[in-house]
């Protein structure tokens, strides 16, 4: 099993930046895709960005954040990051990190919540105009 703990959320003005962190512990050796999702009140959870542990830096992003957000994974300390620049009010949401369980072989899009088995508790990001 994998345990995930997000941190780094907060309140910023539009145009500002935040960096979210997600520390992973437990049996992560078979968790290959790691991702960030977000969910605003009354809206569906949406995939923000995902990265494979062997991606050598390549990642997949939602169109809404492409060019503004960067996902990265530090394999040495098993920490996932989301660097968020040029934040907009519509980025306001609870942000969750997620990890798949590769042993399950779940066939789903890599930005689909269904792909992921393990979830953090979330960290709030609020962007004011």
d(CA 44, CA 93): 11
Q: pLDDT tens, 78-113?
A: 999 999 999 999 999 999 999 999 999 999 999 999
Q: pLDDT tens, 42-76?
A: 999 999 999 999 887 789 999 999 999 999 999 89
Per-residue pLDDT at 11 = 98
Q: What is the 3-state secondary structure (H, E, C) of the chain?
A: CEEEEEECCEEEECCCCEEEEEEEEECCCCCCEEEEEEECCCCCCEEEEEEECCCCCCEEECCCCCCCEEEEEECCCCEEEEEECCCCHHHCEEEEEEECCHHHCCCCCCCCHHHCCEECCCEEEEEEC
Q: pLDDT tens, 25-47?
A: 999 889 999 999 999 999 999 99
Per-residue pLDDT at 115 = 97
Per-residue pLDDT at 119 = 98
Per-residue pLDDT at 56 = 78
Residue 117 pLDDT level (bands cut at 50, 70, 90)? very high
CA neighbours within 13 Å on the CB side: how many for 61?
15
């Amino acid at each position: 099993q994998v345990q995930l703990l997000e941190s780094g959320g907060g309140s910023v003005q539009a145009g500002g930046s935040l960096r979210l962190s997600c520390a992973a512990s437990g049996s992560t050796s078979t968790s290959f895709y790691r991702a960030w999702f977000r969910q605003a009140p009354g809206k569906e959870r949406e995939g923000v960005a995902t990265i494979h542990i062997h991606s050598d830096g390549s990642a997949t992003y939602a169109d809404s954040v492409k060019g503004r957000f960067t996902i990265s994974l530090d394999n040495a300390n098993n920490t996932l990051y989301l660097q968020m620049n040029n934040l907009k009010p519509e980025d306001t949401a609870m942000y969750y990190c997620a990890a798949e369980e590769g042993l399950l072989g779940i066939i789903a899009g890599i930005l689909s919540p269904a792909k992921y088995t393990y979830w953090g508790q979330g960290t709030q990001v609020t962007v004011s105009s």
